[in-house]
Structure 1
């Protein structure tokens, strides 16, 4: 998937992946896509809740080898 910016949140625990995602999205334009890589298992539910609360679109999420990859489109 194409993305405009990548955020490496590996090794960070809740709430840091969400806080960094929020900051990264704030620096982006509407319609741009942020790729987030995290290792915190709680980030799966956190990203879903964050998308609902903020109106940003969680385009996809996947897990591979203990890493979670999210693609979030800015509203």
Structure 2
């Protein structure tokens, strides 16, 4: 599992960081994004839908994304 600490960053920075990390992530691997911007709760699942990735879970300030493609 890869963890991206995006706490203290306003959107779209957590999404940009997630997008830049994805090419280095193996298919099936999970990326955990730590983000305290309230917009992340909507933005990360929306990004997953747009990019064909799997939004696994979101709990508080923790969001798990599985690389699918």
Q: TM-score normalised to the size of structure 1?
A: 0.87
Structure 1 runs of 4+ with >2 Å offset: none
Query: Which residue of the partner structure matches residue 62 of structure 2?
Result: 69
Matched, 1:60 2:57: yes
Structure 2 unmatched runs, 5+:
none
Counterparts of residues 14-25 of structure 1 (less than 5 Å): 14-25=11-22
Of Structure 1 and Structure 2, the greater helix share is in: 2
Alignment partners' CA distance in 2, 1:26 and 1:73 = 12
Which of 9, 14, 19 pairs up with 1:12?
9
Query: Which residue of the partner structure matches residue 45 of structure 1?
Result: 42
Of Structure 1 and Structure 2, the greater strand share is in: 1
Structure 1 unmatched runs, 5+:
none
CA RMSD, 1 decimal: 0.6
1:29 deviation in Å?
1.1
